[in-house]
Each structure stands twice: as C-alpha cells, then as structure tokens.
Amino acid sequence: MKVSHKINTVLLSLFVIAGLAACDKPGPAESAGKTIDQKMDAAGNKMEKMSNDVVDAVSKEGDKTTVAMEDAAITTKIKAAILAEPGLKTLQISVKTVKGVVTLSGSVDTQANSDMANGLSGAVAGVSSVNNNLVVKK
C-alpha cells in the first residue's frame, strides 16, 4: 500500500506540474487579446497622425484666411482714401490686394491723379508694394 500511495502521489504531482505548465502557454483568449491590443495601438497611431494632419491643414487654411482678411481690409482702406479725394473718380479706379501687393487699374484724368492714387495706396499700413496700372485719359 505504501508503494501504491507513493505512485498516486507521484502521478498527482505530475498532473499538477503538467497543469501548471499548461497555464504558462497562452490560450486562444490571450492570443486574441494580444492581437486586439496590437490592432488598437496601430489604429490609435493612425488616428493621431490623421489628427495632426487635420490640425496642420486647418492651420494653413487659417493662415490663408487671415491673409485674405488683411488684404480685404487694405483694399477697403485704399478705396476709402481714394473716395475722400475730390479729384479722383472712384468708379474708374479698381483696387485689388493680394498678400499686401496692391494693384491699381482703371483710368484717371491726369498723371497727378494717378500719382495721388499711387501715394494714397502706398501709405496704407500692410501694403508691401503698389502696381500702378492706371491709364491717364486725356
């Protein structure tokens, strides 16, 4: 009986060791969990990159909008200055501003009026240069 008891103890120990060894091996649930974690990390990285790309795009568009608003303000100030001058006919002068560069086009009665429109345009804050394409009509 003592031998039988020892054999039972040894067999029981072997089953316990085998069971514990089997616990160290990842099962289907652990493998699936690991795969899900990896996919979630990859998706998170992609979402972060997309988020950064969107922020960059919005920032660039915001910069463009700011420049367009500044150009519109410059154009408005120049038109107001020209309108305030009695000798200039505002309906005959077109003002366009792109990135601080003002282009005057249309016609004026004298070279002095062309020079005056050019000077008024150049005096407005934010104007980097003036392209005076005004034609003097006699």
Amino acid at 128: S
Predicted TM-score (pTM) of this structure: 0.56
The answer to whether the beta carbons of residues 70 and 99 sit under 8 Å apart is no
Are 88 and 118 in contact, with CB atoms under 8 Å apart? no
Domain ranges of the chain: 31-136
Q: Would you state the pLDDT for residue 111?
A: 92
**Closest by CA position to 96, among listed 115, 80, 76:** 76
Distance CA 41, CA 117 (A): 62
CATH of 31-136, one of 3.30.300, 3.30.1490, 3.30.450, 2.40.50: 3.30.300
The answer to whether 104 touches 130, Cβ cutoff 8 Å, is yes
> Per-residue confidence of the chain (138 residues) as pLDDT tens digits?
555 666 666 666 666 666 555 555 566 666 777 777 787 777 777 777 877 777 777 777 766 777 778 888 889 989 888 888 887 776 689 999 998 999 999 999 889 999 999 999 999 999 999 999 999 987
Helix (H, G, I), strand (E, B) or coil at 135: strand
